[in-house]
A and B are shown apart, each in its own frame.
Chain A
């Protein structure tokens, strides 16, 4: 089924039944966040929920794993900077 999700504010049509990580790859985006200390880009690493590297903000909730979270209609996905906490 076709749904709409918001990636960094932009409305995008997507297919249900996939993870945020898989959806991002389809959009040619493999960076989910930058790190807290060195501001380095990170993306999916272990792909199975173990490493907590593909952290991303989903519907305002920080530090969600892109590989373990499924996309839903109306979901807002925002790439995360540092700790993800907006000052």
Chain B
């Protein structure tokens, strides 16, 4: 192995977490290979359109132009292995060429995507994730339609609705599953983060000025239409997310933007062999890390949403912590500087974590969503497996977990590889079998030997060569 490989620090993911790690590393004199699936840096949170002045706004976004950063956009890690401290990543670049990268120093910042919950009609064109509707606006400056309903749960629904209002769309309603009083239980934790609350206040003001009605303790439980959504049904729900019958109201709209918080993406960490755990606050599968953001594998760190949903401020801090520790172990930073920098950063992380945890607990998705389903509701969008198919497989074929559900009903076997339905199928099966979801249930749906679809021709030609 050449000396160059051992010096190269590889960061996967150019969202806030990965960019902050890269920036902190560069300041210590390190050289970084930054791999990202997007065409511009920023990930989901700092997504922006081509040529937008936003690209200059943060030091972290500008770091991709630093001479010590090799920035690889449009690059997907499609396979990865780890043994004896050496991680090998197989990249697919621009969908056509392959490159193999080896490193002993790796930071994973693979992020998260909208969490989805099935309901009758959620497969209709015009039903989109809240993040998807926002991404279209931010990167493409395009509205997904004319009249919107924004639904689901979480503080993210507000900036999505505000973005739509500011772009001239008609937002018919914001439908939030929890009651406003849920905040009172966590007031102390929330007040500790003044800046975030200020944003929240600004959003509320815009929503009130635009006369958009916010329905609390409510959910969109069905979407209707022929070639696309034309109407949605909203209903009152209790704290367990059970529908209060007779409370159903129909609202006309051509887009439903729906989001239930976020799903961390630990699949690259799992492919490498990192330990994972269930985050009890939202039931998601996350990468296990220690106080220095190090995973169970030597030299492999994980930062940001893949280690648990916590928002961009926490992600930035985690990136800096991993970078400092890696700089120390690489002898780019002495122990004294590390100790003082870690002390400040870990205190910041502790505070940000309290705020993040409070939000996860307030906006927790309760079990009752399973009661909105009809037997004809699509559960796995890719393979068109319905709730009825899964119930029958549990009843008649002895399905008891997501692994047997996958082999007997094809849930999670389509092109998204269970990214959309993995958690819901695991929860659905566990509930029907009267048991709790286990980390093993979720790991079954997140194990992806091929992480992203690749052209078969590429495999056949055996391109890719030697590491680096």
Which residues does A use to contact B, with CB under 8 Å? Answer: 17-19, 21-22, 25-26, 30-31, 35-38, 40-53, 55, 63, 67, 70
Q: Pick 28 A–B contacts, CB within 8 A, sort by A.
A: A19-B140, A25-B142, A30-B125, A31-B125, A36-B384, A41-B124, A41-B125, A42-B123, A42-B125, A43-B126, A43-B228, A44-B128, A44-B132, A45-B127, A45-B132, A45-B381, A47-B131, A47-B132, A48-B132, A49-B37, A51-B416, A51-B420, A52-B382, A52-B415, A63-B415, A63-B453, A67-B135, A70-B39
Contacts of A63 in B (CB 8 A): 415, 453
Residue-wise, chain B 164-190 has the 8 Å CB interface mask toward A (1 for contact) of: 000000000000000000000000000
For the A-B complex with A48-B113, A48-B132 known, give 18 more contacts whose Cβ atoms are closer than 8 Å.
A17-B50, A18-B142, A26-B142, A30-B144, A31-B227, A41-B227, A42-B123, A42-B125, A44-B125, A44-B128, A44-B132, A44-B136, A45-B381, A47-B135, A50-B420, A51-B416, A52-B416, A53-B416
B142 lies within 8 A of A51 (CB):
no
The binding surface of chain A is classed by DSSP as loop
How far apart sit A14 and B197, CA to CA, in the bound complex (Å)? 41
- State how many angstroms separate the Cβ of B42 from the closest Cβ of chain A: 12
- State how many angstroms separate the Cβ of B414 from the closest Cβ of chain A: 7
A45 lies within 8 A of B129 (CB):
yes
Given A30-B228, A45-B381: A25 in contact with B128 (beta carbons within 8 A):
no
Within 8 A of A (CB), among B364-407: 381-382, 384
Interface residue from B50, B113, B125 paired with A50 (Cβ < 8 Å): B113
Contacts of A47 in B (CB 8 A): 128-129, 131-133, 135-136
Which residues does B use to contact A, with CB under 8 Å? Answer: 37, 39, 44, 50, 113-114, 116, 123-129, 131-133, 135-136, 139-140, 142-145, 227-228, 381-382, 384, 414-416, 419-420, 453
A46 lies within 8 A of B228 (CB):
no
A31 lies within 8 A of B228 (CB):
yes
- State how many angstroms separate the Cβ of B99 from the closest Cβ of chain A: 19
B124 lies within 8 A of A46 (CB):
no
- State how many angstroms separate the Cβ of B152 from the closest Cβ of chain A: 14
How far apart sit A44 and B124, CA to CA, in the bound complex (Å)? 10
Number of A-B contacts (CB under 8 A): 94
A46 lies within 8 A of B114 (CB):
yes
Contacts of A43 in B (CB 8 A): 125-126, 228
Give the residue name and chain of the B residue nearest to A52 (CB).
Answer: B415
Interface residue from A26, A31, A41, A46 paired with B131 (Cβ < 8 Å): A46
How far apart sit A47 and B142, CA to CA, in the bound complex (Å)? 12
Given A22-B142, A38-B384: A46 in contact with B129 (beta carbons within 8 A):
yes
How far apart sit A22 and B123, CA to CA, in the bound complex (Å)? 19
A51 lies within 8 A of B419 (CB):
yes
How far apart sit A42 and B381, CA to CA, in the bound complex (Å)? 10
Q: Which 3 A-B pairs have the closest CB atoms?
A: A47-B132, A43-B125, A52-B415
A21 lies within 8 A of B136 (CB):
yes
Counting chain B CB atoms within 10 Å of each CB, which of A31, A42, A52 scores highest? A52
A51 lies within 8 A of B381 (CB):
yes
How far apart sit A25 and B254, CA to CA, in the bound complex (Å)? 12
Interface residue from B132, B140, B145 paired with A46 (Cβ < 8 Å): B132
Contacts of A44 in B (CB 8 A): 125, 128, 132, 136, 144
How far apart sit A37 and B123, CA to CA, in the bound complex (Å)? 14
Give the residue name and chain of the B residue nearest to A61 (CB).
Answer: B455
How far apart sit A41 and B419, CA to CA, in the bound complex (Å)? 21
Contacts of A26 in B (CB 8 A): 142
How far apart sit A80 and B142, CA to CA, in the bound complex (Å)? 23
Give the residue name and chain of the A residue nearest to B37 (CB).
Answer: A49
How far apart sit A18 and B141, CA to CA, in the bound complex (Å)? 9
A50 lies within 8 A of B127 (CB):
no
Give the residue name and chain of the B residue nearest to A26 (CB).
Answer: B142
How far apart sit A21 and B133, CA to CA, in the bound complex (Å)? 12
B136 lies within 8 A of A25 (CB):
yes
- State how many angstroms separate the Cβ of A82 from the closest Cβ of chain B: 11
A48 lies within 8 A of B44 (CB):
yes
B136 lies within 8 A of A22 (CB):
yes
Contacts of A17 in B (CB 8 A): 50
- State how many angstroms separate the Cβ of A61 from the closest Cβ of chain B: 9
Contacts of A30 in B (CB 8 A): 125-126, 144-145, 228
Give the residue name and chain of the B residue nearest to A30 (CB).
Answer: B125
Contacts of B136 in A (CB 8 A): 21-22, 25, 44, 47
